[in-house]
Structure 1
Amino acid sequence: MSKLVAVDLAKSYRLLNHGPTVLVSSAHAGEQNVMAAAWAMPLDFDPPKVLVVVDKATHTRELMEASGEFVLNIPCRAQAEQVLTAGSCSGKEVDKFAVSGIIALPGETVAAPHVDGCIAYLECRIISEPHNQQRYDLFIGEVLAARADPDVWHDGHWNFDGHDAKRSLHYIAGGNFFSIGEQFAVAARQAE
């Protein structure tokens, strides 16, 4: 795997802007867990913030609430089977890292691990919003560190050309994914 490069925090929202499925990792008191999540998005630029929905019944949520932090890992097409496995079993019953073959790597600024092989990650500290967390399962995270794979992240933008196995995943349902397609640009029409 390529060594990940630092991402300017002012541009870290771009890691999520195209709506990929993420792996949410968490850790507390010697325990760690990982889960798949399809509902994550950028929220703000300065400081950079993200949103993620994490159900009350998950082990990941228990660890997030206890530690006050989490990591949004952005997996790629080559990891689709691991993502599906991590999203199909409970961390309360099994060690999801062992069952899925996911390798945990140490975090940079948080105790929650990174998922080896992911094309990017955002380390986050929870901004406590008890109403949103309890009623909507919605967590706000301030991004503390972000890194991306230089094979597919250039000058603050994704570019997956020539790296099909590293294209980001997008979950549909029932074990079905699609991976991000071809990038293209258009010029804005000038007002007359």
Structure 2
Amino acid sequence: MDLISGSADPHFQPVALEKAYRLLNHGPTVLVSAADGAERNVMAAAWACALDFSPPKVTVVLDKATRTRALVEASGRFALQLPTVPIAALAVELGTLSALQHPDKLARLGVQLFEAPGQQTPLVAGCAAWLECRLVPEPHNQQSYDLFIGEVTAAWADDRVFRDGHWHFETAPQALRTLHYVAGGHFYAIGEAIDVPVPKV
């Protein structure tokens, strides 16, 4: 499977690391990608969240039965990306089809991957945001709870929907709305914005 060029997309723009936690704050479904040598894989995960601000950290649950987890453990790196409405079916397929039984999973599903300049973890095209992470080894958490911690070393977003450190779903194309998984292939796309004045203290 060939890598496409992410840097050729004018909307693929870096996000300041101090704002990277905001990419996950609204609780979206994520795709987890990893590579070790020439092997690449992508899986879906519903349990991922921001953990810390500085340095920015994230958590994600990766089941022992997944090939992606083995690649994360071998390489010490992974990426989280936020799939959008047009690739909802792909997210379900990536979360259902295992590379352990189907080594050609990515080619079979037609997954388009790219690498950001200066990075080596494959990223999935068609997402709203991407976070490149270095694994923070926590063997007890990983073995007992399948819980992985990553330090975000780089982040990007589609600037039509995330810019100046904020999401702009209300003015972005509908196709850039992120997904929120419930169960059984049922998602919600993120809804309308509600602004509440912040009290002064």
TM-score (norm 2): 0.91
How far residue 188 of structure 1 moved from its aligned partner, in angstroms, is 2.9
Aligned runs of 1:31-46 on 2, under 5 Å?
31-46=39-54
| 1:79 aligned counterpart, secondary structure | helix
How far residue 109 of structure 1 moved from its aligned partner, in angstroms, is 4.7
Q: Give the aligned CA root-mean-square deviation in angstroms.
A: 1.4
Give 2:187's aligned residue: 177
Larger mean Cα displacement after TM superposition, 100-109 or 51-60: 100-109
| 2:96 aligned counterpart, secondary structure | coil
Give 2:113's aligned residue: 104
| 1:18 aligned counterpart, secondary structure | coil
> C-alpha distance in 1, partners of 2:126/2:89?
13
Letter in 2 for 1:186: V
> C-alpha distance in 2, partners of 1:175/1:70?
24
Give identity over the alignment, percent. 53
Do the aligned residues in 2 keep the contact of 1:73 with 1:114 (CA within 8 Å)? yes
Give 1:19's aligned residue: 27
> C-alpha distance in 2, partners of 1:57/1:109?
31
> C-alpha distance in 2, partners of 1:93/1:31?
15
Aligned runs of 1:48-67 on 2, under 5 Å?
48-67=56-75
How far residue 130 of structure 1 moved from its aligned partner, in angstroms, is 0.3
| 1:93 aligned counterpart, secondary structure | coil
| 2:191 aligned counterpart, secondary structure | coil
> C-alpha distance in 1, partners of 2:163/2:81?
18
Give 1:116's aligned residue: 125
Q: Which runs of 5+ in 2 are unaligned?
A: 1-8
**Are 2:155 and 1:146 equivalent residues in the alignment?**
yes
| 1:87 aligned counterpart, secondary structure | helix
Letter in 1 for 2:98: S
Question: Structure 1 residues 71, 119: CA separation in 2 closer, same or farther (over 3 Å shift)?
Answer: same
Do the aligned residues in 1 keep the contact of 2:33 with 2:40 (CA within 8 Å)? yes
Question: Structure 1 residues 190, 6: CA separation in 2 closer, same or farther (over 3 Å shift)?
Answer: closer
Give 1:5's aligned residue: 13
> C-alpha distance in 1, partners of 2:65/2:192?
37
Give 2:6's aligned residue: none
CA deviation string 1:67-91 (max 9, x = no partner): 0000001111111011011011101
Give 1:166's aligned residue: 176
Larger mean Cα displacement after TM superposition, 92-101 or 24-33: 92-101
Give 2:164's aligned residue: 155
Larger mean Cα displacement after TM superposition, 49-58 or 162-171: 162-171
> C-alpha distance in 2, partners of 1:158/1:77?
16
How far residue 108 of structure 1 moved from its aligned partner, in angstroms, is 4.1
Tell me the number of residue pairs that the alignment of Structure 1 and Structure 2 aligns.
Answer: 191
